[in-house]
Structure formats: structure tokens, C-alpha cells
Amino acid sequence: MYHSTLNSQLLLKPHSMIRYSGQTRILVAVDCVIFGFDGNDLKILLIQRGFEPEAKKWSLMGGFIQPAENLDQAANRILKQLTGLEGVYLEQLHVFGEPFRDPLERTIGVAYFSLIDIHKYEKQLNDEYHAEWFLLNDFPKLIFDHEEMIETAKNHLRYKAALHPILFELLPEKFTIPQLQSLYEGIYGATFDKRNFSRKLLSTGLLIRQQDKHKENSKKGAFYYMLNENQYKEKFQAFLNFIPNPESLIF
């Protein structure tokens, strides 16, 4: 019965004019959670919203999907328009669909998240919408459910880091062990013993020590390391040894 009725509608109207009857139109928005690491601290990228409601208040990078684009295309377009960032890896995170999450209209929010080395992309960042990096544990109040989005992204990042050394996406090609420890401590909100962390890290055999040192924080300095690409895929499980209680992170 349904198919015969639909076929009769097709004969009466051009395909572009057919709509499902009795259904409410709902907007779909995309929001981007961008984590960045500057070598010392883990940060989150925010902008000041450019339109009502909540204009000028701090927000994730967000906008509405257009009729001729898919979700990934919308996420990349929105991120470039609002921050200038492009070529950034974005991963779809979660769909937020509480009926009144947006006070103006019923809007489904599709969140994406990304990890970047801040220094690698700092020249791309524009200030048209006052895009600004904030410490992950010290950012201003955000609009709608954007704080929930960040919390969901942070939990997902912890989960992924417990299964795979994804955090290297946030590091430059050469890095120090203290920098890597700061990154893990920022992600997990925990303090690791320096000697134990260094010992476990070096025991993985996945790092290659370089001849030069980073001397910004001390005269003695810390040796730079690089990831051993040849063993990276085969032995990445070795990084699980210093994740705090990884089984508690699975959800």
C-alpha cells in the first residue's frame, strides 16, 4: 500500500517536490572539538559565537549542514570558515539530540573531534571570530551543551589513548619525555612518577633518542626523541603499560 501510494505521488509531482507528509523539519548542526598541545599544556580551541542566540559568548566551532554536503564536508567547511584551519583530521564523535538543547529551534548536533600540534597550525589560525586556545581544565562557560561535548570528547580521547598511541598526533616530530608526560597527565588528569614513566616509556623500544637536547627549562636539558616508525604499528600495545586503570575507561 505504501509503495503504490508513493508511486502515485511520483507521477503527480517532480521528485524534488516530494516530501514526507506530517513530519517536522529539524535542523542539523556540526560542532568541532579541537584539542591542541603546545609542548607543555593540553588546550581546547574556542570562538566567540557570531550570531544569536548567545552571540559573543564562547562556543565550539559550529554551524549548520548545507543541503549539498555530507557531515564530514560540513565539519571541514565550518572549521575553516571560523578558524582558518584546514587539512586537520576530524573524527565523528557523537550525536547530541536533546529536544531543547538549542532554545531557538529543534537542532540535532553532530560533534567531531580532532588532535593537533598547536605549533604546526598556528600560522593558519585567524582572528575574525576571536578563536582562542584555553587550558583544558580552565576554560570559560560555554553555550548550550558544548561543555558536555568536550567532556564526551575527552573521555573518548582517554579511551583511544589507552588502546593506541594516538597522542603522538599532538606532538612535533621531535619531542622530549617530559613533554610526553605532560601530555598524558593532561589527558588523564593524573600525576605520573617521572622515573617510572620514563622507564616504562623507554622499555617499549618505540622511541629513538636524538643527539640534541631541549634546554628551555633547564641548563642540563632533556634529550629529544623520535617515534620509531618501523616498529610503531607492531608494538603499539606496549604503551598500555603506563595508562592508569585502562579498564575503567571503557564505556
Per-residue pLDDT tens over the stretch 101-144: 999 999 999 999 998 889 888 889 887 878 999 999 899 999 99
Does residue 150 share a domain with residue 132?
yes
Q: Which of 161, 196, 223 is the last residue of a domain?
A: 161
Confidence of residue 244 (pLDDT cuts 50, 70, 90): low
Does residue 191 share a domain with residue 150?
no
Is residue 156 classed as helix, strand or coil in its secondary structure? helix
Does residue 173 share a domain with residue 150?
no
Count of domains for the chain: 2
Q: CB of 38 within 8 A of CB of 119? A: yes
Cα–Cα distance, 156 to 151 (Å, whole number)? 9
Q: CB of 24 within 8 A of CB of 106? A: yes
Does residue 177 share a domain with residue 154?
no
Residue with more model confidence, 237 or 98: 98
Does residue 155 share a domain with residue 32?
yes
Q: Which of 159, 81, 73 is nearest to 110 (CA)?
A: 73
- Residue 100 pLDDT > 90, yes or no? yes
Strands (E), 85-221: 91-96, 107-117, 132-135, 175-176, 207-214
pLDDT of 249 reads 41
Does residue 175 share a domain with residue 155?
no
Q: Which of 135, 161, 187 is the last residue of a domain?
A: 161
pLDDT of 134 reads 96
Q: Which of 112, 137, 161 is the last residue of a domain?
A: 161
Give the type of residue at 154. K
pLDDT of 236 reads 60
pLDDT of 2 reads 47
- Residue 239 pLDDT > 80, yes or no? no
Cα–Cα distance, 207 to 199 (Å, whole number)? 12
Q: How many Cα atoms within 13 Å fall on the side-chain side of residue 146?
A: 27
Does residue 173 share a domain with residue 52?
no
pTM: 0.79
**Please, what is the end-to-end C-alpha distance for the chain in angstroms?**
43
Would you say residue 15 lies in a domain? no
Does residue 36 share a domain with residue 110?
yes
With a CB cutoff of 8 Å and minimum separation 6, the contacts of 138 are none
Structural domain boundaries enclosing 242: 169-249
Does residue 231 share a domain with residue 118?
no
Q: CB of 44 within 8 A of CB of 139? A: yes
- Range among 77-91, 139-153, 161-175, 193-207 with highest mean pLDDT value: 139-153
Would you say residue 96 lies in a domain? yes
Would you say residue 35 lies in a domain? yes
Does residue 146 share a domain with residue 179?
no
Does residue 63 share a domain with residue 135?
yes
Classify residue 138 by its DSSP letter: B
- Residue 170 pLDDT > 80, yes or no? no
Does residue 157 share a domain with residue 175?
no
Cα–Cα distance, 18 to 26 (Å, whole number)? 17
Cα–Cα distance, 193 to 25 (Å, whole number)? 54
